[in-house]
Amino acid sequence: MVFSLILMSLAIQRHFHQPYAKDHFNYYLLWVISAIYVTYIASTLLLDYILFKAANEKIISLLKLFIGGTVVQLLVVQTAFWVNTIHFSVGLPNPRMAACVSETIFRIYTIYATFCFIEEIKTEENMKSGFRDLTDYEVDEFYNGHDQISLTTNLDAETVKYMHGKYRKEKFGIFLSDLEIDTGAPLGCGAYSIVYRALLSRVNDDNKVPVAVKMTNPLSSNVEHFKTLLCELKVMTWIGNHENIVNLIGACTEDIKKRKLYIVLELCAFGNFQNYLKSQRGTFVDLTEFPTYHGSHVSLDINNDEDLTSTKDLVKWAKEIADGMDFLESRKVVHGDLAARNVLLTEQRVAKITDFGLPRQLYNYEVYMKTQVSPLPWRWLALEAILDKRFSTQSDVWSYGVTIWELFQLGEIPWLGCEFSLEFVNELERGKTLEKPKYATQEIYQIMLNCWEKTPGRRPTFKALSDTFQSIYQHLNHEQSTR
């Protein structure tokens, strides 16, 4: 660079001794061009210092300043060179032209290299923060499986096999063009995903099927959270269908490299139980207030209005939730976050469990706790889950007890007014439990207490819970039919 500018400066110096230099305009023009060359040398030294500092400290703003300054430099010195060449009729080609062209090529390459370095810095920052695209290896890992086990070893061998196996795209693949997503009003929102209502077009079928679409948000879900959703999708592909879980219809995985995923699920028109039960508080029929529940006559016929929610419905839904959890247990799946907000209600008023492929089940829980932004759902967690991070079917039974407490309290938040603290955990260890819900009998409350046994092995199974609520439901039906 310095050599090139010295050649140009010497050439201008010779111009000063030419006859045309006696012309005032040409004389001042030569001085301007000379000043530009000198300024170019000084500014280049400054920009090179900026580049050295920015490259060492990886400061993107300074790298951008270097690029901008270099571009301005090139434009100015190129203008000066060609004005000098054309105005003073310098013959071409000549050594000065070769020097100028070589200098320009070098500077353009430097700009390109700086751009690439900026992208590397951004990629490195994204890798650290997790907000990056999936690598080709990670995409291939999802589609074709891998042999490395990165999950916790307490998972069942069959679960590990499916988690690390191939994604069955031929069975569950859906094209995004087949979905008409209504993004007007979401059905539900999570920390890293949003659920919308949509219409699914089927091959050789003019009728469009109403579905729910769970969409990821690349701006709020980092790679680890996104890969957890991919694991959840894989879990759902091999679990199979059941009446009391939200069944998978398919998924659009065309753009997972950009952290975009569309999981197509059954549509549950009434939403989650927490919100639904709150909406029923004004019209709820409490059968426990009537003598019929204890064997006497009652004059109210709740079957005259199918939309009317009563104690009998709560018992039915408690049984259905137990059936769904029993099915998940048979498929070696631990839910990890069973709560009324994660149980949905269909248009036919059937309870269905959702969100059963969560990271507490699939990944190291301590890592999950450190990366999770939303508060830990301690109100529903079993004692051993809080103390030792141990999740199992028995800890799900504890959460089931809290969930049916929510049902019989019509969507009230458990432990309302309490704060998570060491004192709260100590009280749980000493046997503190939630009080009897307003709309539960002592018999139903005792079922909840059994679910909250301190020793996991003493808690009832989901099959036993289902049978118990089936018996209560039949008793209610019998008393209604004999009145």
Residue 114 near residue 67, CB atoms below 8 Å:
yes
Q: Which 3 state secondary structure label does DSSP give 223?
A: helix
Whole-number pLDDT of residue 362: 43
Residue 261 near residue 229, CB atoms below 8 Å:
yes
Q: What is the pTM of this model?
A: 0.69
pLDDT reading at 4 higher than 70 = no
Instruction: Determine if residue 352 is labeled as part of a ligand binding site.
Output: no
Percent of the chain clearing pLDDT 70 (strictly above): 75
Q: Which residue has the tokens 């016929």?
A: 301
CA angle 16, 20, 21 (to 5 degrees): 30
Out of 58-72, 197-211, 362-376, pick the least confident: 362-376
Whole-number pLDDT of residue 447: 97
Residue 273 near residue 345, CB atoms below 8 Å:
yes
pLDDT reading at 439 higher than 90 = yes
CATH class of 138-265: alpha beta
Arithmetic mean of pLDDT over the chain: 80
| Structural tokens at position 292 | 């019929």
The CATH number of the structural domain formed by 273-481 is: 1.10.510.10
Question: Could you tell me which residue, 86 or 340, shows the higher pLDDT?
Answer: 340
Q: Write down how long the chain is.
A: 483
Beta bridge partners of 264: 213, 250
Q: Which of 15-29, 74-88, 332-346 has the highest mean pLDDT?
A: 332-346
pLDDT reading at 374 higher than 50 = no
Residue range 380-402: mean pLDDT, rounded = 93
Residue range 35-56: mean pLDDT, rounded = 82
Q: Which of 331, 326, 333 is nearest to 355 (CA)?
A: 333
Percent of the chain clearing pLDDT 90 (strictly above): 38
Question: Could you tell me which residue, 258 or 456, shows the higher pLDDT?
Answer: 456
Q: How confident is the model at residue 298 (pLDDT cuts 50, 70, 90)?
A: very low
pLDDT reading at 400 higher than 90 = yes
Residues labelled as active-site residues: 337
Q: Which residue has the tokens 């996104």?
A: 226
Residue range 260-289: mean pLDDT, rounded = 92
Domain residue limits, the chain = 2-129, 138-265, 273-481
Whole-number pLDDT of residue 370: 37
Residues near 277 by beta carbon (within 8 Å), at least 6 away in sequence: 309, 340, 406, 407, 410, 411
Whole-number pLDDT of residue 432: 94
Q: What is the pLDDT of residues 51-63, one digit of tens each?
A: 888 888 888 888 8
Residue 87 near residue 20, CB atoms below 8 Å:
no
Q: Which of 149-163, 175-189, 348-362 has the highest mean pLDDT?
A: 175-189
Q: What is the pLDDT of residues 129-139, one digit of tens each?
A: 566 788 888 88
Give me the amino acid identity at 17.
H
Q: Which residue has the tokens 């991919």?
A: 230
Would you tell me the crossing angle of helices 60-87 and 24-57 to the nearest 10 degrees?
160
C-alpha torsion sign, points 399, 400, 405, 409: positive
Question: Could you tell me which residue, 247 or 304, shows the higher pLDDT?
Answer: 247
- What is the C-alpha to C-alpha distance for residues 261 and 263, in angstroms, rounded to an integer? 6
Give me the amino acid identity at 310.
S
Q: Which of 110, 250, 232 is nearest to 170 (CA)?
A: 250
Q: Which of 243, 266, 253 is nearest to 187 (CA)?
A: 266
Residue range 84-107: mean pLDDT, rounded = 68
pLDDT reading at 468 higher than 90 = yes
Residue range 217-226: mean pLDDT, rounded = 71
Whole-number pLDDT of residue 47: 85
pLDDT reading at 405 higher than 80 = yes
